[in-house]
Structure 1
């Protein structure tokens, strides 16, 4: 019953986020663990520096806007399932760069799966991602997600993505 309530909460949060986060999936990591991943739209590396704080860097390949880079911090608010996100993104449309804030919510692992939703917004963009991670073997996860990037200038980009994450 406890897991059912969390899944229902995640679905509700995802519905509030709408169709508008980072291209990197939301990872559940232990203190001092590192995750390196590649996905349909880019690559990332992140490291959990304390029991609650994770720092990361991400490269995103955008269809219309070349590439974007972001440095970010995630802070666990409730367990590792609810996180606050803050960072800085370069190379936005119109040659802009923005600080951004956001949040994510995820489920605990159930049969090797965990689902998540995340939202981030800066002065000139907002982005949402909803996805699911599946542990394949030991420290290797696969990811399936839907993302929606909405810059204030230009066209928005959305789509389905896949990726892999190696944790060590």
Structure 2
């Protein structure tokens, strides 16, 4: 386990693009805290069908982005998303959706798409369960602002659930 954590920490320092929070399956009252490439997040399942999350992304050569979001569980593996990105005190509201499901023993795949007035964001990834309350996240992420340069890449992160 110690070797896995050392390797994970090394990968987090050398890979480049920031990523959105992975799609997590939480039980009511459960919290997830995670780190990834230039990002950290915290989310809590407040009700059987609603999760509230906070995230900070530290973009290279750009301003930080703080995000607050809600996920409404619409079906077993399907959720609606609404949130607000705050960059330089300029909030951008967005909506989207996410789907997730098992892809192999100990692996859960997911994809999410969100869009706001001035951007779109796509994420495809998988969570690998290393213990009952810890996952490693692998993702491809692309952030597409209407103005400016797209930011895409692969990432790795870790999530603890408690």
Shorter-chain TM range is: 0.7 to 0.9
Q: Structure 1: which 4+ aligned runs deviate by more than 4 Å? A: none
CA–CA separation in structure 2 for the residues paired with 1:129 and 1:74: 15
Structure 1 position 52 matched with structure 2 position 61: no
1:84 aligns with 2:59: no
**Aligned-pair CA distance for 1:109:** 6.5
Q: Contact conserved, 1:75 with 1:85, CA < 8 A, in 2?
A: yes
Shift of 1:154: 1.1
State whether structure 2 residue 125 is matched by structure 1 residue 128: no
Equivalent residue runs for 1:125-164 within 5 Å: 125-164=119-158
C-alpha RMSD of the superposition? 1.4
Which position in structure 2 is the counterpart of 1:66?
A: 63
Runs of 5+ consecutive residues of structure 2 not aligned to the other structure: 1-18
**1:34 maps to which residue?**
31
Q: Secondary structure at the match of 1:76?
A: strand
Q: 2: distance between equivalents of 1:116 and 1:27?
A: 9
Q: 1:110: Cα distance to partner?
A: 3.7
Q: CA deviation at 1:104?
A: 0.3
Deviation at 1:116, TM superposition (A): 0.3
Q: Residues of 2 paired with 1:64 and 1:129: CA distance?
A: 21
Count of aligned pairs = 144
Higher percent of residues as strand: 2
Alignment gaps of 5+ in structure 1:
1-21
Scaled by the length of structure 2, the TM-score of the pair is: 0.85
Q: 1: CA distance between counterparts of 2:81 and 2:145? A: 18
What TM-score comes out, normalization by structure 1 length?
A: 0.82
Deviations 1:58-110 (A, max 9, x none): 0012123221010000010111x101000111107xx7421100000001374
Q: Distance in 2 between matches of 1:75 and 1:148?
A: 23
Which sits farther off after the overlay, 125-134 or 22-31?
22-31
